[in-house]
Amino acid sequence: QVQLVQSGAEVKKPGASVKVSCKTSGYTFTAYFMNWVRQAPGQGLEWIGWINPNSGETSYAQRSQGRVTLTRDTSISTAYMEVSSLTSDDTAVYYCARGSYTWSLDYWGPGTLVTVSS
């Protein structure tokens, strides 16, 4: 069965960076795009971007451009999201979500809480 397992919660200071991992199993990692979505406390969902694990091609929401970097390691079927220059506005649960062949997000990780606090 398809599984997405994310790294644990993080607490970071303003200005620091954080890297969240999403380890996949149960399907061919390189055959499906991986999306990242975040949700601030009590708020809605915000799409961050996607990566094509086969080619490494990425696409970012404009708000994420320049501070977010999506990468992957195909040898261990894992996707990564790194966010730099963190501010308190980046406090959120970050989800990885597989993009299906129809581009909808069919499998989601459990989420990683990133807290930015001085």
Partner 1 sequence: EIVLTQSPGTLSLSPGERATLSCRASQSVSNSYLAWYQQKPGQAPRLLIYGASNRATGIPDRFSGSGSGTDFTLSISRLEPEDFAVYYCQQYGSSPFTFGPGSKVDIK
Going by their DSSP bridges, the two strands 105-108 and 92-99 should be labelled as antiparallel
Of residues 80 and 95, the one with the C-beta less far from partner 1: 95
Contact (CB, 8 A) for 99 and 108: no
The region of 7-15, 21-29, 69-77, 99-107 touching partner 1 under the rule CB under 8 A is 99-107
Place of tokens 């730099």: 84
Q: Using the 8-state DSSP alphabet, how is residue 27 labeled? A: S
Of residues 58 and 84, the one with the C-beta less far from partner 1: 58
The region of 22-30, 69-77, 79-87, 109-117 touching partner 1 under the rule CB under 8 A is 109-117
Residues within window 2-31 making contact with partner 1, judged by CB under 8 A = none
Of residues 84 and 99, the one with the C-beta less far from partner 1: 99
DSSP assignment of 63-107 equals TTTTTEEEEEEGGGTEEEEEE-S--GGG-EEEEEEEE-TTSSEEE
- Which residues would be at the binding site for partner 1 (CB under 8 A)? 35, 37, 44-47, 50, 59, 61-62, 95, 97, 100, 102-106, 108-111
